Amino acid sequence: MAFKRDKKEEEDGGGNPFQNIEKTSVLQEARAFNDTSVNPRKCTHILTKVLYLLNQGEQLGTTEATEVFFAMTKLFQSKDVVLRRMVYLGIRELSSIAEDVIIVTSSLTKDMTGNEALYRAAAIRALCSITDVTMLQAIERYMKQAIVDKNAAVSSAALVSSLHLAKTSGELVKRWVNEAQEAFSSDNVMVQYHALGLMYHIRKTDRLAVIKLVTRLTKQSMKSPFAVCLLIRIACKLLEEDDSAPGTDSTLLSFIESCLRHKTELVIYEAAHAMVNLRRTTARELAPAVSVLQLFCSTSKPPLRFAAVRTLNQVAMSHPSAVTACNLDLENLITDSNRSIATLAITTLLKTGAESSVDRLMKQIASFVSEISDEFKIVVVQAIRALCTKFPRKHSVLMNFLSAMLRDEGGLDYKASIADTIITIIESNPEAKETGLAHLCEFIEDCEHTSLAVRILHLLGREGPRTKQPSRYIRFIYNRVILENAAVRGAAVAAMAQFGAQCPDLLENVQVLLARCQMDSDDEVRDRATYYHTILALKNRSLYNSYVTESLQVSIPALERSLHQYTLNVTDTPFDMKSVPLAAVEPLVSEIIPSKGVPEGTLLSTPAPQRLGVSKEESALETISNIPELAALLPQLGPIFRTSEPVELTEAETEYVVRCIKHCFARHIILQFECLNTLSDQLLENVRVALQPAEGYKVLREIACPRLPYNETSSAFSLLEFPEELTASTGTFGATLAYMIKDCDPATGLPDSDEGYDDTYMVEDIEVTLADQVQRVWKGNWGAAWEEAANLCELEDTYALTSMRNLQEATTNIVQFLGLQPADRSERVPEGKSSHTLYLAGIFRGGHDVLVRAKLALADGVTMQLTVRASDPDVAELVTSAVG
């Protein structure tokens, strides 16, 4: 019986004698520390248990920790080396939880200066973890001695502890720089490394000192490979900062390059990695780095192969041609037993390889894609996305591969990245649309992620009705209504309604399905079904357009806020939808090329910072509300209609930097001038921008910025009224910055005297354009909206755009110039076409709809026939005249 239990216990514990220990009993046992004669073996065992518990994540309360801590201090009387060392470790572990830990300062100081080398290093580290700024001064002398101690362990401990302390008492630690310098010449490699780390940390804010340090050290050879790596990183940092002195650059670069020939792999890789990641590296300078990485590709050490192929993958993104030389070595890695290495090798090859090798590589990767982690699968998906834009003809192979990946197991991020890629392909390649939609339909049949299913249903609703056979999608969508949760059912109902509105021959069937959905158990789904069913029953095309195919055009957070405000006031007037600012149209998903933010394939799994749900207009509103004079006027001005991108009014790197942001209201415009003073010996006061407004404009109010100290950004404002005559509303204003200068002390920023003098500074002219006065609006069905606007005012004109060389350039320029939203992806000109039609939509300030159709044809330059339909004749005239 006893034997049986013993065996069972052994299996349970798996040979872990610490398996079943409990906090309370251990704390009880810890009282043994107080015994008059210390039993080292027993006490070490108990202390180990305490530390083990802490390491397992057990939380100790303050009193518990303090109690153990004080009991532990009794163990200083023991001569047992291990026990004493465990005590030091215990002090460090408990120092953050227990109270009154400074009680052991004197014991530790004694050990730190004693003879026993094994105690000294540990005592220094323990002491530095319990000490604070005031106490530190008392032990400063010992610390300085310890840094330059002959014993490497003591010196390292002192240097590393100083670096930890520098976070809290930086000023004091700065005084130890000479000692660090002395320690740097030590024979021990780790001491050298730690000393360099401390020296750099102390000096890092002083650029000149760092340059001096680095140039001196690059000339001497250091023994420690770690220290060389650190030096490479410091050199890179200097090189990345733009304003480095011209002479040092070449020294630093040649130092990094010389490290490619270092004797340890650690340093060689660090140097190669640095060369690849330096922004300034040219393809020629890259060559030696690439060739060492190529050598690493064939080593037997997996981490080194991994490091090499990962860096090559990065190179492939910026300089694909530089990596082609390594293709053979990479080919050998695609069957590597470490799947991460294989994946990176394949994605690198996909980036550098020719169209012909795509099929083979895809087959290879398909053989093990199920074995790799999600992070790498995302890398693969990103590589495929890049391929699709590069080789549009390969879309069928890639699409098949993606759909196979969609069917596999995987997390939301992974699935979302596949869906994103398919959507991008659909949008950029009309040929791939039908197959892409079919794959997505299949995917939602068995998709456990609600958010993804909803997105795909929305996409089906938008794209499905315009395919050759819209009816085939209905079945997939209706299946969702039967099988899914409420959110998905709601999205499915909305998607079906799109088909009803846009495909007359399907209307009857859709109505039947919608009628069935009115029995749904969920409120929202029923509401949507009833809503769509009623509208579709009216058979009125213009109602379809405004209430089914077009989505809400106001900014949702702003609508929420307005409604909240509305409910706070008791009033009889109905809520006015027009008072809500319009939402600026986000750029299409496909336009966000992954060059911004996190570069693709760098394997950063931390997501890019989430875009805040605040539009430009709303942040502008906040800025303006903070200025009391303007905030008082806001009720008269109405909601902000549009805020333009900032325009630089000065050259970069001038004395004063001024940027202009235009906030457009229904009948007024606020110009916000963001000023930055870059002169450290000047304080500017009463800063304003004097305007010479264009004809018809009236300056109503100027608000100066009272104080503009060095290196601070502050804004001045001007409020203008638009001219009555709409056609006069585009114009150019002359502008001058006017201010009072007071000379001041660069160090303190305080003015030398109260006397100042007035001065002015010319800045560039400000243009108010058409684009500033219109808000982009997304039309899901532009054609229908155009038909509907047939009875509005229409103007037509023909222009010759001689400066444009091709249609794409012309299209991009027109979109930018008019500030309208292109619809139906007409901003993309298919390649090889000699004519193109661009569809644009927007709203002019004051709530006038504007629709523009631009027919472009390529002949010597580009000829454009522009048709404008607008609810206000003046607006139409303004648009046509703006182009000319």
Name residues contacting another protein, limited to 355-414 (CB under 8 A). Answer: 373, 375-376
Residue whose CB is less far from another protein, 598 or 858: 598
The reply to whether 609 sits near another protein by the rule CB under 8 A is no
Cα 144 to Cα 110, 132, 135, 154, 168: the distances in Å are 16, 17, 15, 11, 18
326 binds another protein (CB under 8 A): no
CB nearer another protein, residue 27 or residue 152: 152
The nearest distance, CB 47 to another protein, in angstroms, is: 7
When asked if residue 18 is in the footprint of another protein (CB under 8 A), the reply is yes
CB of 57 to another protein, least distance (A): 3
- Mention every residue, 6+ apart, whose C-beta is less than 8 A from residue 856: 807, 810, 811, 835, 836, 837, 838, 862, 863, 864
Identity of the residue, 152 or 820, whose beta carbon is nearer to another protein in the bound complex? 152
The correct pick among 288, 557, 594, 599 for binding another protein (CB under 8 A) is: 599
Assess 184 for contact with another protein (CB under 8 A).
no
Among positions 282, 605, 711, 760, the unique one binding another protein when judged by CB under 8 A: 605
Tokens at 397, concatenated: 């192979």
Touching another protein, residues 260-289 (CB under 8 A): 265-266, 269-270, 273-274, 276-279
Interacting stretch for another protein, rule CB under 8 A, among 67-75, 303-311, 636-644, 717-725? Answer: 303-311
Segment lying near another protein (by CB under 8 A), choices 357-365, 475-483, 601-609, 696-704: 601-609
Any contact of residue 193 with another protein (CB under 8 A)? Answer: yes
Question: Is residue 417 part of the contact set for another protein (CB under 8 A)?
Answer: no
DSSP helix/strand/coil, 853:
strand
Give the N- to C-terminal CA distance of the chain in Å, as an integer: 101
User: Binder to another protein among 36, 606, 610, 791 (CB under 8 A)?
Assistant: 606
Count CB-CB contacts under 10 A for residue 446.
9
Tokens read off for 342: 């294989």
Residue 207 to residues 201, 213, 233, 710, 748, Cα–Cα distance (Å): 12, 10, 15, 20, 20
Q: Which residues of 28-49 are buried (b: 16+ CB within 10 A; e: fewer)?
A: ebbeebeeeebebeebbebbbb
- Binding test (CB under 8 A) with another protein, winner from 23, 207, 339, 466: 339
If the CB atoms of residues 65 and 157 are measured against another protein, the closer one turns out to be 157
CB contact at 8 A, 179 and 144: yes
In whole angstroms, how close is the CB of 616 to another protein at the nearest point?
Answer: 24
Rounded to a whole number of angstroms, the minimum distance from the CB of residue 770 to another protein is 36
Instruction: Say whether residue 15 binds another protein (CB under 8 A).
Output: yes
Select 255 or 782, whichever has its Cβ closest to another protein: 255
DSSP state of 582: B
Q: Binders of another protein: how many residues, by CB under 8 A?
A: 81
CB of 620 to another protein, least distance (A): 28
3-state secondary structure of 839: strand
Question: Footprint of another protein on residues 195-224 (CB under 8 A)?
Answer: 197, 200-201, 204
Which of 104, 165, 194, 583 is in the footprint of another protein by CB under 8 A?
A: 194
One of 75, 101, 143, 163 touching another protein (CB under 8 A): 163
DSSP 8-state code for residue 64: H
**Which window, 101-109, 189-197, 471-479, 609-617, contacts another protein (CB under 8 A)?**
189-197
Q: How far is the CB of 395 from another protein (least distance, A)?
A: 28
- Decide: helix, strand or coil at residue 344: helix
Tracing tokens 């001064």 back to the chain, one arrives at 137
The alpha-helical segments, DSSP class H, found in 464-615 are 471-483, 486-502, 507-517, 523-537, 541-544, 556-568
Task: Return the residue of 23, 32, 52, 74 that touches another protein, per CB under 8 A.
Answer: 52
Q: State which of positions 68-107 bind another protein (CB under 8 A).
A: 81-82, 85-86, 89
Q: Please list, in sequence order, all residues whose beta carbon lies within 8 angstroms of the beta carbon of residue 439, skipping any fewer than 6 positions away.
A: 399, 402, 403, 406, 422
Q: Which stretch binds another protein (CB under 8 A): 243-251, 312-320, 555-563, 815-823?
A: 312-320
Tokens read off for 233? 């990183």
Neighbours of 771 (CB within 10 A): 22
Question: Which long-range contacts does 321-327 make (Cβ < 8 Å, 24+ apart)?
Answer: 321/283, 321/352, 322/283, 322/286, 322/287, 322/290, 323/290, 323/348, 323/351, 323/352, 324/352, 325/290, 325/291, 325/294, 326/290, 326/293, 326/294, 326/297, 327/352, 327/353
**Closest distance to another protein from the beta carbon of 230 (Å):** 6
In the complex with another protein, which residue's Cβ is closer, 368 or 547?
A: 368
Distance (Å, whole) CA 37 – CA 65 = 23
Q: Which residue has the tokens 């550098």?
A: 352
- Is residue 60 involved in binding another protein (CB under 8 A)? no
C-beta of 341 vs 661, nearer to another protein: 341
CB 876 within 8 A of CB 869: yes
Which of 27, 230, 493, 856 forms a contact with another protein (CB under 8 A)?
230
Please tell me whether residue 51 binds another protein under the rule CB under 8 A: yes
- From the list 35-43, 469-477, 651-659, 762-770, the region that binds another protein by CB under 8 A is 35-43
> Least distance in Å: CB of 805 to another protein?
31
Nearest to 380 by CA among 345, 412, 356, 409: 345
Range in contact with another protein (rule: CB under 8 A) among 8-16, 361-369, 421-429, 787-795 = 8-16
- Smallest gap from residue 609 Cβ to another protein (A): 12
d(CA 690, CA 680): 24
The CB-side HSE value for 256 (13 A sphere, CA atoms) comes to 29
Residue 806 contacts another protein per CB under 8 A? no
> Binder to another protein among 47, 350, 660, 866 (CB under 8 A)?
47
Among 107, 251, 318, 865, binds another protein (CB under 8 A): 318
Among the listed ranges 155-163, 644-652, 822-830, 839-847, the one in contact with another protein (CB under 8 A) is: 155-163
**By the 8 A CB rule, do 845 and 864 touch?**
no
| Closer residue to another protein (CB): 104 or 460 | 104
**Minimum CB distance to another protein smaller for 603 or for 795:** 603
DSSP state of 644: P
Nearer to another protein, 232 or 744 (CB): 232
Least gap, CB of 303 to another protein (angstroms): 5
The set of long-range contacts for 819-826, using a CB threshold of 8 Å and a minimum separation of 24, is: 819/769, 819/770, 819/771, 819/772, 819/773, 819/774, 819/776, 820/774, 820/776, 820/850, 820/852, 821/585, 821/776, 821/777, 821/778, 821/779, 823/778, 823/779, 823/780, 823/782, 824/782, 824/783, 825/427, 825/588
Q: How far is the CB of 96 from another protein (least distance, A)?
A: 11
Closer residue to another protein in complex, CB, 20/692: 20
Q: Which of 1, 2, 14, 613 binds another protein (CB under 8 A)?
A: 14
Give me the least distance between CB of 599 and another protein, in Å please: 6
Nearer to another protein, 170 or 504 (CB): 170
Angle between helices 302-318 and 339-352 (to 10 degrees): 20
With CB under 8 A as the contact rule, the residue among 121, 380, 506, 513 that binds another protein is 121
Where residue 302 falls (left for φ over 0; alpha for ψ -120 to 50; beta otherwise) is alpha
One residue of 8, 141, 164, 261 binding another protein per CB under 8 A:
164
Q: Which is nearer to another protein, 125 or 385 (CB)?
A: 125
Check binding of 55 to another protein (CB under 8 A).
yes
Task: Say if CB 501 and CB 541 are below 8 A apart.
Answer: no
